[in-house]
Amino acid sequence: MRRKDREMGKEFGIEVIDKSRYGVLSMVTENNEPYGVPLSIVRDGDNLYFHSAREGKKVKTFIKNPNVSVVFVGEVKIPENCTKEELDEIAKDESKAALLTRKVFTTEYESAVVKGRIKLVENEQEKTKAMRLICEKHTPTKMDYFDMAVREGLGKVNIYKIEMEEIKAKRKKYDVFGEEMKWRRMK
């Protein structure tokens, strides 16, 4: 990672994964082409799970090359680090222009990138558990109907597990004084 000052630890990466609504799965096809798809993904320990159609480009790609990467994006926002009065003062002095790019025309963000190997889940209990976790994350208020739905639909989809081998996390965030919080500083 080039910006070591913005690098965060594995625990932070796990938090980003857990709160992200989706992840973008990236792989390389048998024709050596990049291929990425957004998916509803859930984490359980050191594994990620998602469901998929039983055939198609993804399925063919997994068989040929199980090495994948998944990107998760957490909170993203434009910070308000300067008041109108402070901006007007900066605008009077060309030597302060760098403050505009550093504090005004910027974005706060958090992300996690996972590298791992993908496997088709074949064990019925593990498949059901994975679907339950996915549904609890995305449709928690509908879980009273899960058992009926999983009995009907589980045989129509593939469930995949990504064994996470590496998690890299990154963040850009400002404190209440408008100073960037670097080197894993939390407050």
- Condensed to tens digits (0 to 9), the pLDDT of residues 98-146 reads 888 888 888 889 999 999 999 999 999 999 999 999 999 999 999 999 8
Using an 8 Å Cβ cutoff, are 172 and 180 in contact?
Answer: yes
Distance CA 112, CA 41 (A): 13
Locate all alpha helices (DSSP H) within the chain, ordered by sequence.
10-19, 57-64, 84-91, 97-99, 124-138, 146-153
Using an 8 Å Cβ cutoff, are 105 and 21 in contact?
Answer: no
Domains in the chain: ranges and CATH: 4-78+107-172 (2.30.110.10)
pLDDT given at position 1: 66
pLDDT given at position 51: 93
- Burial annotation 101-119 (CB, 10 A radius, 16+ → b, else e): eebbeeebbbbbbbebebe
pTM, entire model: 0.85
pLDDT given at position 167: 96
pLDDT given at position 100: 86
pLDDT given at position 115: 97
Residues of the chain with pLDDT under 50: none
Distance CA 104, CA 87 (A): 9
* The amino acid at 147: D
Q: What angle do CA 129, 134, 137 make, to 5 degrees?
A: 125
pLDDT given at position 105: 83
